[in-house]
Amino acid sequence: MKIHLMTNLDKPHALECSLKLAELLQAAGCTISVMEQEQTALQIKHALVYNQRDDCVKDCDIVIAVGGDGTIIHAAKHALDYDKLILGVNAGHLGFLAQAEPEKMPEMVSRIISANYEVEPRFVLSVQIAGGKRSFTGYALNDAVVAKGFACSLIDLALYCDEKYLDRFRADGVIFATPTGSTAYSMSAGGPIVDPLLDAILMTPICPHQLTTRPLIFSASKSLSVRSTQPEEQQLFLSLDGGIPIPLESNEYVTIHKAPRAARFISFGEREFFEVFSEKIVQKR
């Protein structure tokens, strides 16, 4: 079995966990692959070293991400491209997406080797920039945010569902989230908490200026789009999973729908979603 190990190199705890995990996996007969910079930091014996991340992922059976939620999301997007299984090991602050804690790594490795796990598909958003000359498609495991960059002013947005006008509102921006992302930025903006196994698209306005503007939940079969009602005056930006904002031209708008493929997470089925939610978010207050 080939395991690609992705590690957050900025977290000392993640480095320690990855080294221990590599030893356990190799002792169980697995082959470990890493990127050059990861091997420089980890110095894993007998590891396969690659120059390109895509080559690592394409040539493995399972991608294991060691770090926080950001690391797991980054790894999941690479795994999605090649339909690989993804497992998150928490070495961060919250690790809400992680299915394993560092102290349970020996048990985790044993279950991976014996295929004693479940595969949990997670809904992914496909996000396009339309209306202009360029062709752009990106994917979001957590959320796609349309806002006005760093400007501290309201923007006027129009929302469409299946190409039919739905609503117009003023806000700092809007979040389109997956059920997985319902516990991230969308929750902070007042959106609902949704079981990640549901297929749904959440729309959460950011600080809306009308009392009647509220979060909405759409069927995953719907296609949504949002655009500025004053494109000549208000430049919008698109950010996927907290990534670098992409500026939109005045004639461009954003469309959101269900991606054709789901991210496939390894789950050990030990705890229900709301149990984890209570432990990691509610009880940490």
User: Which residues lie below 8 Å from residue 152, measured CB to CB, with a gap of 6+?
Assistant: none
Residue 12, classed as helix, strand or coil, is helix
Nearest CA to 153 among 129, 124, 133, 173? 173
Candidates 54, 59, 69, 81; catalytic one: 69
Active site residue 69: yes
Angle at the Cα of 201 from the Cα atoms of 153 and 199, rounded to 5 degrees? 165
d(CA 68, CA 27): 25
What are the distances in angstroms from CA 77 to CA 71, 172, 285? 10, 27, 30
User: Which residues lie below 8 Å from residue 239, measured CB to CB, with a gap of 6+?
Assistant: 144, 145, 147, 245, 246
Q: Which residues pair with 167 in a beta bridge?
A: 159
For the CA atoms of 117, 70, 12, 6, the dihedral, rounded to the nearest 10 degrees, stands at 50
Token couple for 7: 């590690």
d(CA 252, CA 5): 38
Catalytic residues: 69
